[in-house]
Chains A and B, each alone.
Chain A
Amino acid sequence: MTATQEPEHVKQKKYGAHDIPSYLDPNHIGPYEIYLEQVERVTPYLGKLAYWIETLKRPKRILVVDVPIHLDDGTVAHFEGYRVQHNTSRGPAKGGIRYHQDVTLSEVMALSAWMTIKNAAVNLPYGGGKGGVRIDPRKYSTGEIERVTRRYATEIGLIIGPEKDIPAPDVNTNPQTMAWIMDTYSMNVGRTSTGVVTGKPVALGGSLGRADATGRGVFVTGAEAMKKLNLPMEGARIAIQGFGNVGEAAARIFHQHGAKIVAIQDVTGTIHSDAGIDPGAALEHLRRTGKITEFPGSEEIQKAEFWSVDCDVLIPAALENQITLANADQIKARLIVEGANGPTNPAADDLLTGKGVVIVPDVLANAGGVTVSYFEWVQDFSSFFWTEEEINKRLDRIMSEAFLSLWDVKEQHGVTLRTAVYIVSCTRVLEARALRGLYP
């Protein structure tokens, strides 16, 4: 019997004193159910704060909007839009806006809740939010997408703002989308408001350091974990899957600090070198030839062999669900730093944890992106912008402090870092809730 087939009374017991909200189908709760289970699991660690636990299970506010636009052919089309503010106890809601034909309310609810967890894990003064429009952007012209964006921004304009809820790019949205939202919102409120969204182009109040932010966060948390494991950085052997925005930056920064990149895998192939690969030269080679393979001084290996490469640190920075039972037992690394979202499936996670491998979970390892989003918002308040060095210095501080407080909780409770994230985040959110109380 799966969870979704359980009788109603079982479900009520499982999710606390209250029913599943009426706006979710109890038989098909969807992604929000995964989140509810995660909260259930850490409730015993929350002590007296568990009194407030229901607060985490219910989003503060859900707005469903109709988004009508004129299509290029002269007809009118309607799209469903959502904005969910899961929690604002620690600060304004914050989270991306995605455009996808399969977006559902349950998905947006779950994503907004995960933003609450992520923001609290890094100790940013934010709650969590997420938005989405049910549209397949590939089927529409740029003009149509702009009209959808502006109408959607106007509809949710009632509840967003620099001191209320700050959207950011997500699946199928980008700095241009954010520029349209910023412009629409600014026109509607009658003043320039750059801080209403982050992920803007640098010319419109965006922040420097954004391109490298996630990869840099992977490096900072990875380096802190290596200290805990007594793994010296000098000469440490690193294998990286993915050589895009995140993987390339992480490889470059690890290399700069004396580590040795022994393997890189991307869509074009897998290369290996015991002597170490210079990521700068590899990027140059990739740009010139269109592939990572045949890089001088490296040997090409089979795709599956990547997992058994002799290394100290493994960084999956490509896609989700890469480390599975099919390859987990071949992994030689003592440390895995999840640059990508969800690269390790739960069964593989259990197996690796059982072997004593430490996994720095995605919510922490790739939080460099949202941290620089936070810096962008901070800079927008004063319209005074920081240098890239200042941003990197502050990013390093926030990421390493976040890692260290999670590590303490991991040690204290004898749990994985992934569980520690939930314990720390739920504690921080409910601590704020308890201090604020209920009003009126």
Chain B
Amino acid sequence: MKLIKVDLTAKTIQTEDLPSAYEGLGGRALTSNYINDHVPAGCDPLGPENLLIFAPGYFSGTPLVNTSRLSVGAKSPLTGGIKESNVGGTAAAALANLGISALVVEGQAPEGESWLLKIDAQGQVALLDGADCRGLRTYALAEKLLAAHGPKNNITCIGPAGEDLLSAASIQTTDLDDHPCRAAGRGGLGAVMGSKGLKALIVSRSGKAADPLADPAAFKAAAKAYAQAVKADEFSGEILPELGSACLVEAINEVGAFPTRNAREGQFEDADKISGEAMARIIRERGGKTTHKGCAQCIIDCSNEYVDADGKYVTSSLEYETIWSMGGMIGNGDLDAIARLDFLCDDIGLDTISTGVAIAVAMDAGYKSFGDAQAAIAMVEEVAQGTAFGKIIGSGPAAVGKHFNHERVPVMKGQSMAAYDPRAIQGMAVTYATSPMGGDHTAGWVVDQNLEAFGGTLDRFSAEGQVEASRNTQIHMAAVDTVGICDFAQSGLAAEGGMDNVYRMVAAKSGQPFGEDDWQALGLRVLKAERAFNRRAGFTAADDHLPRMFYEEPLPPHNKVVVISPEELENTFDF
């Protein structure tokens, strides 16, 4: 349970035990509480007072499957509020197996300096001069660092977008194939890393000092039952391995909730060309990989390796949100172009959601035509080239809207929504508007309640029950993001006795009793810290509203608008 503080101003490294105030926390609870406690809410997100924190989930480094989630937190340059963005790959397991609960990056190196932070298999931490890495894109950087430091390392890094301090910049991390294709994308945390002068973490994957379990036998018994439930579930055991998250394309498009051409429509006529079914067929025909393992300790294998017509690697992993943001949202039905855009964003270090929506806003404003995939590729390349317009695209959709004086910008707290239009699934309006993260689908995904069991246990066009569903899911997800269980392994939670298994594992790791009330309290503690920070940063009730377009523009084909009033949104949380 080590806390490592690295000060880029003084170039000092300090290792201490995790303070008792944070005991029993990991992932999002640790990053958000630490930021709320230590970062001046009014600070410049790209200045020396901001902190950048990396924290593996509480279950990372344990025998439990699908626990390779790394939370990254800071004050966001995109939203101006608190941010937690989590990512898979190999970083969380690497840090947790070194007994590291959190890595806190403080201060700021002088402009122009570039540093690497290396943690070796013994847990020794060193700052290395990274001047020769400056400007490198992430694939070249990962290859160079792995050649220099050995293959059994995780590389967590930024590309040119992060170095240029652009607010759609991601932090990329390597998967099991050493590709830096996994992104902590949301909120511009790559720019925070860039502002510190930190280009990359190099973390040994050979650590053998994971935190001990208080009751290993009890933990393993519950972990085994959990894993069996994940395997037995049809979605995580069969559909995700074959199609990945892209299995959502046809379903969400069919219900008219697939935001198309900057959310002017809810259905994309070329959805069948970019669907999970189409993607899996193309990958198989070309000799690529479906059922691909991207993250340490994964038993779902929802990843894929998309290849070109010659069977050559293009990107990994092509997922639902990117297929939407670089597909339907910009009117592009060319899956090869989507794959290219996905690769470019990973390589340059950009959030695919914010970048795709930024392009969509530019197209909506008339800068280029919807469906012009080559123009989209050129816009992303401009980000890496550092042109004036590239910097606007790399700053996200709100910046693009401001540049063109264009009002149709689907952002909440400055961050773009994801691939579920709230006019066709009303509960997502609540999550997008009220999450402390800004427009964020993972913060409270209530799509299932609105569609399951032949059309939903909630009426997706009605306000009834949506606020409560989103509130409960947001509290639950704050706890899930704390223990660090992959979203797609939540089938293990949903199975009979699944939550009890999770409570048993928390208790078996900590040695303290843990139950349903504690789970709820954990989720609430996270949200309260995040909302407290945001209030101090200047957020008011009006920041829990939606842009006017969602109230004023009926979304075809169902021609509905959001019917949940701003007042109802404001009352989602009473703290």
Say whether A and B bind each other: no
